[in-house]
Structure 1
Amino acid sequence: MLETCNDQIATSDSVMNTIATENRLGSQYSVIRRNGKRTPFDQNKITIALTKAFLAVEGGQASASRRVHQIVAKLCEQVVDALLKRLPENGVIHIEDIQDQVELALMRSGEHKVARAYVLYREEHEKQRLAEKAVQDGQTEQVEEPGLTIVNPDGAEVNFDPESLSATIEAATAGIEDVSSEKLFELTRESLFDGMKLSDLNQAMVLSARSLIDQEPNYSQVAARLLLSNLRLEALSFVNDSSTIVAQSEMAQVYPNYFIKYIKKASELKLLDEELTRFDLEKLAAAIQPDRDLAFNYLGLQTLYDRYFIHSENTRIELPQAFFMRVAMGLAINEIEREAKAVEFYQLLASFDFMSSTPTLFNSGTTRPQLSSCYLTTVPDNLYGIYDSLRDNAMLSKFAGGLGNDWTRVRGMGAWIKGTNGKSQGVVPFLKVANDTAVAVNQGGKRKGAVCAYLESWHIDVEDFLDLRKNTGDERRRAHDMNTANWIPDLFMQRVVEEKEWTLFSPDEVPELHELCGKAFAQAYEDYERKADAGEIRSFKRIKAVDLWRKMLGMLFETGHPWVTFKDPCNIRYTNQHQGVVHSSNLCTEITLHTNDDEIAVCNLGSVNLAQHITQGELDRAKLERTISTAMRMLDNVIEYNYYSVPQARNSNLKHRPVGLGVMGFQDALYQKEIAYASDAAVEFADRSMELISYLAIKASCQLAKERGSYSTFQGSLWSQGILPIDSAANLASERGNYINQDLSQTLAWDELREEIKSHGIRNSNCLAIAPTATISNICGVSQSIEPTYQNLYVKSNLSGEFSVSNPYLIKQLKKLNIWDEVMVNDLKYFDGSVQSIDRVPDTLKAIYATAFELDARWLVEAGSRRQKWIDQAQSLNLYMAEASGKKLDQLYKLAWVRGLKTTYYLRSLGATQVEKSTPEKYDAKPEPAPQVCSILDPDCEACQ
């Protein structure tokens, strides 16, 4: 208890100097410190002292207790009143008097445990001052270490060497600011026991550093370095058949020899493709940069360790730079100058400037190089076809593919079955089987199987489809593990706005609707409605469009599904529409490619790290061009090298060669530019940054076409007609009429690029798609995709465990203001990572560091709209709403439609208790007003414009 108090309770000299801000009393009264110096009186420091006292006794519970915050505020008021009531203006208070009053207030309030801890603290602190004085006078005592033995991997017992432990920790903390090797040593030392394994000793260091991350985020890098030490012991012991501890400083000599042995041994074990052994391994080994290992934070390296590194019998045999080189070798395996290209690809990955998607990282260079991320299928309306589709799902999922299935063709409940003269059970029972298949085949044991089912909004089973994720009702008609999405035609949205009726059909009687979009769909749909009225259609149902829309939004809020995606913009803007119809998106709603019975659409993904391309507050165009040129080549190389578990996927991918270059670290880039997410400046940056990325990606694909030739179905595509993504956005506006309002401004030389494509073609039918990057952004240590910050301090859970995550940009700013301390950590925990209710945080920072649920979600839509005009596919766009309501959801998703978005992804909302805790009590910053849209989308309404 005394040690805890010594660390956490105080109005001591060091704590009294942690806060730079002064309150109004500072100009009237001053405090005499123990060293005789005077400082202005600041009552905030009393609040900090009291909060630390409660933290010492109640620990983490205090950070989640409103009672503690209320008591501290009351006690602080009592202490200040007691100190100042007899003092004249400009009076002087001694530090001991302040501590006496704090102690007295705690006793009077009945907080006896806290008061006792505070008394013990003062006594212990006095002893500590005396001990420090003794050290200064040269009166030191030697402390003997108790005898401990450590067991090496070979079974040999050796005496514990505290100097070796200290040296390891010193190396891990070297060059990292605001971390204490002494503190980490003591924390680790408390975890040791006699007979401890060396690997457990290493893990104890990692866990000790990990426990300090929420107090100081730089310990994340320390924990990563210590984990790296453990990993080196594991991997080097495997390839060398001996137990060796190698320091980072020795890795420049060790890495090359290890890498060559690793490739050969992993190939012998059939873990890697034998072709990798025929590279010039010495040349590749010489290109490895060991210091890149030090760039990881703890979450990133632990994620790689748990899920990505090649292992044999549960032993990781792959070090980080060998991992990146192995991935690069696979992607370069068909290159003419493959060593040179492997080095080029390696440097891009190892620098975190670009990161390939998870399947590519999993499988590149292995004996089954399934590198593609996304597969889209359409399910036919017959029993053989349905179960063939389920088999395809299983095979694609086995090798780490994410699936999007279009189920619209499957006839609805009650529809006539010709072969048996019976009635169909509809689409829902088959969706239940698809759900269970995804659970059973869990992506090779590396991550959960994942599939999303799409259904068009005119399907007669759509109301049952909306209920699939409900926790009530008949479990045989529920699919709790499957994602679902509405595939919504524009005509439905128009009828919602105009409050008209909507007709549901069974697809076996209206087969054309599945293959049509835009005005052609509207005409055919209305013809079928007339036939239904004339009695020529057996299965149909008429409802109010608004009622169905409300149920869609209600289920979205209640269960998170089905997601809202829009059929017509995906098709009207589709670059390869001469080859087929886009019937659905993928698992994460960013891929929009056509499918049919002979083609399963495939897309290969990777993301540019936007934060790595900001130089002095601006996008570095030259660096971005180098990155994208190499990245597009890597993505294109996947197509020939890829392992295809079903022939329809190979057929589609080789014909059309689509890829999806995306971005991550958008929020990091805003922090670097000191721009609030909820601002016109952020929307403009989203526009201009995506325009440049789009331009460079399309240009790179055109350059590849000059070298390798255009994709085989280029003729007849929008590309061949000189219609680029920005032009197809104009086509959508023409098709929609009054029901669209999307900014179509542009700044780059698109005419020149347009002519170049018409002359030389383009290598890839599609070039751009923004994926969620949930895991690869962790590897790179940046924010996910285009997401705003979720919270500034929180615990993240994934398959690798739980991790403390904090916002390093915010903490850097708080350190500059000298207000990053235990109380600030406590306040951030209490307010769920929000700074809005913390008075010490300036309003300018409150605006910049507003979290996802503190933004008006319409800002996300506005930024997404600006990006969408440059993207030939779509983007995974999560929407956040702290206090959702039917009216807000209605306006938000209508705005998404009007602004030309193709798809949306998850709707994230807060529980009532979180809303209460995170609602700002005082927020004086003046953020930009949120964009508005009226509920009827009147084209003459100023708000809609």
Structure 2
Amino acid sequence: MSLETSQRPPSAPDTNTGSVRVIRRDGSVSPFDASKISVAMTKAFLAVEGDDAAASSRVHHLVAELTAQVESSLLRHSGGEPVTLHIEQIQDQVELALMRGEHHKVARAYVLYREEHSRARAAEEAQTGSGEAEIHVRATDGTLSPLDWDRVAHVVGEAVAGLADVSADPVLTETRRNLYDGISMDELALAQIMAARTLVEQEPNYSYVSARLLLDKLRAEALSYLAGGTRLANQSEMATGYGDYFRDYVHRAVELEHLDPELAAFDLDRITAAIRPERDLDFGFLGLQTLYDRYFLHHDGIRFELPQAFFMRVAMGLAIREDDREARAIEFYELLSSFHFMASTPTLFNSGTTRPQLSSCFLTTVDDDLDSIFQAYKNNALLAKYSGGLGNDWTPVRGLGAHIKGTNGQSQGVVPFLKIANDTAVAVNQGGKRKGAACAYLETWHIDIEEFLDLRKNTGDDRRRTHDMNTANWVPDEFLRRVEANSHWTLFSPDETPDLHDLYGNAFAERYREYEAMAERGEIKVARTVRAVDLWRRMLTMLFETGHPWITFKDPCNLRSPQQHTGVVHSSNLCTEITLNTSTEEVAVCNLGSVNLLKHVTPAGLDTELLARTVKTAVRMLDNVIDINFYTIPEARRSNLRHRPIGLGLMGFQDALFEQGIALASEAAVEFADRSMEHISYQAITASVELAEERGQYASFEGSLWSKGILPIDSLALLADARKGDALDVDTSSTLDWETLRGRVRSSGMRNSNVMAIAPTATISNICGVGQSIEPQFRNLFVKSNMSGDFTVVNPHLVASLKARGLWDEVMVSDLKYFDGSLGEIDRVPEDLKALFATAFEVDSRWLVDAASRRQKWIDQAQSLNLYIAAPSGRKLDELYRYAWHKGLKTTYYLRAQSATHVEKSTLRGTDGKLNAVSATPPPAAVPAAAPAPSPAPAPAPDVDVDFSATDGAACRIDDPDCEACQ
């Protein structure tokens, strides 16, 4: 099974991988040869499954697929540049491919084989002694010098200092194995990093060791660039030299036109005195590698921005218009660098730069004429160029078959225009920092809704497909009433029913019924009647099959919007958490950041005083974004300055539960979601009131729900009134003094029309080293793939708990790998730990909905809420999404399906777009012991009872490096 012999120099290197070299354990270097991986995996399969002819034939085909996956993973980030791999990296990818492919027995045998041979090699080396030949290091100018092993040992020693259960010895031993004579300085640095990374699955703190070794590489890169020649510094030297470095960094960045010259005019003595060099050591490897790859300032590919310079640059950019800007910059820096709060990715990318586009999300409405449609393409390109995520409302565009007066022809519908929008998003890729990303929204009554549902399919006319753009259903309450009543539903073209677009609640339902009557009388030319259940079934089928369109609810978004007096919420954004008004005159903008909840809890509970201080500063930072922002289109500037919306969210929710010993599938977790969001809401509204007292109300305040003393918790009554007899199962309890705050809001006003929204935080949570947003733990041990590469992720809370009970050892690591990071089948793990550390697919998603419902009552916008389902069926999806509707949620985001999380698979087979596939009985999902049942699900809608378990859904792969939700 070993790949050690498989990477000897082949007689003729593969022409496609000729620039890839492999370091063997004896230090020699050979060309990469993927065929040798196939040989090793074939041996592994046959050793486990036997070598009869039938098995050999099947294994040959399977190994070819797995080998291609391994090669793709190894070379994904090479960009065509020369690559040096260590044999261990290749074996890691082989192991990962086997696990993702669910070949657990083969993977387990492979892991044990590697460990056995590793111990044998260590014993052999101990007997024979080192006896290595002298190693020389190649500088950037090509000169060779002897390896300074003392410095390597010192750097590794610093990297492990102060961390529990780690040691320099295994890192140094593994580093020696990765060296060869003539190794470059970059490769030497990478050898140390990779050595530490191999140990992460055994001890999570090696993630910090890896990060500190990456930091040493970054320091060398940055300092050498600024000095104009090779310059090295360890962490202790930087403790006294950070100030000098920061001054040089600012002046060089201004000179290169990367930074606003105004930053150089700050009192840099005062600024540098506040920098905390020791906080460079607080990163895990995934966090620092993400910053290195995507955030730090660079010139000609050379990074010259260190972590604390990065945070201070962002803070100075956000404080640039403050009266005492140095004091505010230091206040903002403290919040960012301590990971108590993190601004959104566009803010981190661009704050302090010459183009400070700091806003996260832009929402647009596309009108029904060519000028508006093609202006929308231009706007999308300009907004995406500087890292904006887009939500486009396409409902006004007339449908297929509608009359075109100007040409006396018939419309081709909205779909061809969406194809162009899709291609625009691909073409404008945010400067290579991340993919351009957009989401198209369409209301459920639009005549093109059925074609819209098919946009992400891999079959059919490719001219009517959008493989790269997200899609979402904008669903009115009236449609779900019809589903539950097993009634009919009528589809219209918006050119004949134009006012439906701007109506919601009971007004929409009444006018919709009038149009149905007109259609029955023949007064509407383009209309079609379907069974509501049939359309709902198809919506759910496509959601599972393609992952789209997402399900979002029009009426709760509008009925609870504070800004009903200024317009209508026509869609959400790219990630379904923003609910702001749009029109052809106004492009809605939202400015995001998230509180790290883990930093605000102790085992005893929520630290409300610390949370209040964090939220107050965070809201000020987000409000500053609005005035500093670089606006690429006038409609966005006009809207943002008039309404001043911000979106304060949270991340690390699951980590906060771990810290308190609370299982996610429990009433205690739902209660914590409620109370923590209540405090965030109270403090965020208070902070906006205080800013209004200092800076003035937002321009459109009068007439808003705020001006009437109606806070988010109060707006639930508006939704309940509109739902009338329809069940709205929402808790309305509270614990804080909301009446006093209502009075302050009415008298002083609000600085911001909207203040809260929970975004996915996919990347900034990695930076802070916590779980995404309000997400459950995906697995307790897995490999995460993103644009920065593949990272072993181990749940440190679990490891700490297992250590406390004497259960953390190599066998436990092996078992976690074998069982996909789940504790459910590991007999020696106590039941209380199985419940506490249950993974996403072991928890009934109704618990996630219950917690989201409790949060939603406090939030003026929405939440990016992903839902998980281990064994999907039509009945389960129907019950889950109607449960979310009854619980008062405004939106949902990705559906994550168990069958799609191990390896990328094809689209749903055997359904032909309908929920009528015949399938095998699914395996039962593991349910943690002691988890009481959540609220009962709604009774199933008629004819929505089909099993998906034998199909390959594309709902979401979780670790997709091309998915913005995973980034």
1:767 aligns with 2:755: yes
Matching residue of 2:879: 891
Matching residue of 1:844: 832
User: CA shift at 1:917, angstroms?
Assistant: 15
Query: Residue 463 of structure 2 aligns to which amino acid in structure 1?
Result: R
User: CA shift at 1:615, angstroms?
Assistant: 2.6
Q: Go from structure 1 to structure 2 and tell me whether the alpha carbon gap of 1:115 and 1:727 turns closer, same or farther (over 3 Å shift).
A: closer
How far apart, in 1, do the equivalents of 2:245 and 2:896 lie? Answer: 46
1:719 aligns with 2:706: yes
Q: For the Cα contact (< 8 Å) 1:834–1:918, is it kept in 2?
A: no
Matching residue of 2:812: 824
Matching residue of 1:317: 304
User: CA shift at 1:818, angstroms?
Assistant: 1.9
Matching residue of 1:380: 367
Matching residue of 2:58: none
Matching residue of 1:855: 843
How far apart, in 1, do the equivalents of 2:900 and 2:227 lie? Answer: 56
User: CA shift at 1:663, angstroms?
Assistant: 0.2
User: CA shift at 1:533, angstroms?
Assistant: 1.2
How far apart, in 1, do the equivalents of 2:290 and 2:710 lie? Answer: 42
Q: Go from structure 1 to structure 2 and tell me whether the alpha carbon gap of 1:897 and 1:65 turns closer, same or farther (over 3 Å shift).
A: closer
User: CA shift at 1:64, angstroms?
Assistant: 8.2
- Flag structure 1 segments of 5+ consecutive residues without an equivalent: 5-54, 73-110, 132-140, 939-945
1:274 aligns with 2:261: yes
Q: For the Cα contact (< 8 Å) 1:2–1:120, is it kept in 2?
A: no
Query: Residue 542 of structure 2 aligns to which amino acid in structure 1?
Result: M
Query: Residue 337 of structure 2 aligns to which amino acid in structure 1?
Result: A
How far apart, in 2, do the equivalents of 1:546 and 1:478 lie? Answer: 25
1:610 aligns with 2:614: no
Query: Residue 469 of structure 1 aligns to which amino acid in structure 2?
Result: R
Q: Which structure 2 residues correspond to residues 343-742 of structure 1 after superposition, within 5 A?
A: 343-739=330-726, 740-742=728-730
Q: Go from structure 1 to structure 2 and tell me whether the alpha carbon gap of 1:639 and 1:146 turns closer, same or farther (over 3 Å shift).
A: same
1:932 aligns with 2:936: yes
Q: Give % identity.
A: 60
How far apart, in 2, do the equivalents of 1:155 and 1:557 lie? Answer: 55
How far apart, in 2, do the equivalents of 1:505 and 1:533 lie? Answer: 12
Matching residue of 2:136: 149
Q: For the Cα contact (< 8 Å) 1:881–1:910, is it kept in 2?
A: yes
How far apart, in 1, do the equivalents of 2:651 and 2:551 lie? Answer: 23
1:807-858 C-alpha deviation (Å, 9 max, x unpaired)? 1100111112222222211111111111100111111000011111111111
1:278-302 C-alpha deviation (Å, 9 max, x unpaired)? 1111211111000000000000000
User: CA shift at 1:925, angstroms?
Assistant: 2.1
Q: For the Cα contact (< 8 Å) 1:454–1:485, is it kept in 2?
A: yes
Query: Residue 682 of structure 1 aligns to which amino acid in structure 2?
Result: A
Matching residue of 1:743: 731
How far apart, in 1, do the equivalents of 2:519 and 2:110 lie? Answer: 79
SS in structure 2 of the partner of residue 485 of structure 1: strand
Give the number of the structure whose alpha-carbon radius of gyration is greater.
1
Q: Go from structure 1 to structure 2 and tell me whether the alpha carbon gap of 1:468 and 1:165 turns closer, same or farther (over 3 Å shift).
A: same
User: CA shift at 1:314, angstroms?
Assistant: 0.2
1:868 aligns with 2:872: no
Q: Go from structure 1 to structure 2 and tell me whether the alpha carbon gap of 1:67 and 1:776 turns closer, same or farther (over 3 Å shift).
A: closer
Query: Residue 742 of structure 1 aligns to which amino acid in structure 2?
Result: V
Q: For the Cα contact (< 8 Å) 1:836–1:920, is it kept in 2?
A: no
1:814 aligns with 2:799: no
- Flag structure 2 segments of 5+ consecutive residues without an equivalent: 5-90, 904-919, 943-967
Q: Go from structure 1 to structure 2 and tell me whether the alpha carbon gap of 1:62 and 1:427 turns closer, same or farther (over 3 Å shift).
A: closer
SS in structure 1 of the partner of residue 589 of structure 2: strand
Matching residue of 2:87: none
Q: Which structure 2 residues correspond to residues 120-269 of structure 1 after superposition, within 5 A?
A: 144-153=131-140, 155-269=142-256
Q: For the Cα contact (< 8 Å) 1:63–1:827, is it kept in 2?
A: no
How far apart, in 2, do the equivalents of 1:734 and 1:823 lie? Answer: 57
Q: For the Cα contact (< 8 Å) 2:841–2:925, is it kept in 1?
A: no
How far apart, in 1, do the equivalents of 2:105 and 2:466 lie? Answer: 43
Query: Residue 794 of structure 1 aligns to which amino acid in structure 2?
Result: F
User: CA shift at 1:164, angstroms?
Assistant: 2.3
1:880 aligns with 2:872: no
How far apart, in 2, do the equivalents of 1:117 and 1:691 lie? Answer: 50
Query: Residue 906 of structure 1 aligns to which amino acid in structure 2?
Result: Y
How far apart, in 1, do the equivalents of 2:765 and 2:668 lie? Answer: 24
Q: Go from structure 1 to structure 2 and tell me whether the alpha carbon gap of 1:366 and 1:342 turns closer, same or farther (over 3 Å shift).
A: same
SS in structure 2 of the partner of residue 481 of structure 1: coil
Deviates more, 1:313-322 or 1:913-922: 913-922
Q: Go from structure 1 to structure 2 and tell me whether the alpha carbon gap of 1:239 and 1:681 turns closer, same or farther (over 3 Å shift).
A: same
SS in structure 2 of the partner of residue 405 of structure 1: strand
1:159-200 C-alpha deviation (Å, 9 max, x unpaired)? 123222222211111121222311111110011111222222
Divergent runs of 4+, >3 A? 1-4, 58-72, 111-128, 141-145, 152-156, 912-924
How far apart, in 1, do the equivalents of 2:827 and 2:335 lie? Answer: 43
Q: Go from structure 1 to structure 2 and tell me whether the alpha carbon gap of 1:922 and 1:583 turns closer, same or farther (over 3 Å shift).
A: closer
How far apart, in 1, do the equivalents of 2:846 and 2:111 lie? Answer: 49
User: CA shift at 1:773, angstroms?
Assistant: 0.1
Matching residue of 1:22: none
Matching residue of 2:888: 900
Q: Go from structure 1 to structure 2 and tell me whether the alpha carbon gap of 1:427 and 1:616 turns closer, same or farther (over 3 Å shift).
A: same
1:186-231 C-alpha deviation (Å, 9 max, x unpaired)? 1100111112222221111011111221222111000000000000
Q: CA-atom RMSD, angstroms?
A: 2.8
Matching residue of 2:271: 284
Q: For the Cα contact (< 8 Å) 2:882–2:938, is it kept in 1?
A: no
Matching residue of 2:65: none
Q: Go from structure 1 to structure 2 and tell me whether the alpha carbon gap of 1:857 and 1:731 turns closer, same or farther (over 3 Å shift).
A: same
1:310-350 C-alpha deviation (Å, 9 max, x unpaired)? 00000001000000000001100110100100000001000
1:606-642 C-alpha deviation (Å, 9 max, x unpaired)? 0000000013431111110110000000000000100
Q: For the Cα contact (< 8 Å) 1:837–1:921, is it kept in 2?
A: no
Matching residue of 1:32: none
What is the count of residue pairs matched by the alignment? 839
1:755 aligns with 2:743: yes
User: CA shift at 1:883, angstroms?
Assistant: 0.3
Q: Go from structure 1 to structure 2 and tell me whether the alpha carbon gap of 1:923 and 1:414 turns closer, same or farther (over 3 Å shift).
A: closer
Q: For the Cα contact (< 8 Å) 1:328–1:342, is it kept in 2?
A: yes
Deviates more, 1:660-669 or 1:815-824: 815-824
Matching residue of 1:833: 821
SS in structure 2 of the partner of residue 911 of structure 1: helix
SS in structure 1 of the partner of residue 342 of structure 2: strand
Q: 2:777 aligns with which of 762, 773, 789?
A: 789
How far apart, in 1, do the equivalents of 2:110 and 2:417 lie? Answer: 64
Q: Go from structure 1 to structure 2 and tell me whether the alpha carbon gap of 1:68 and 1:696 turns closer, same or farther (over 3 Å shift).
A: closer
How far apart, in 1, do the equivalents of 2:115 and 2:701 lie? Answer: 76
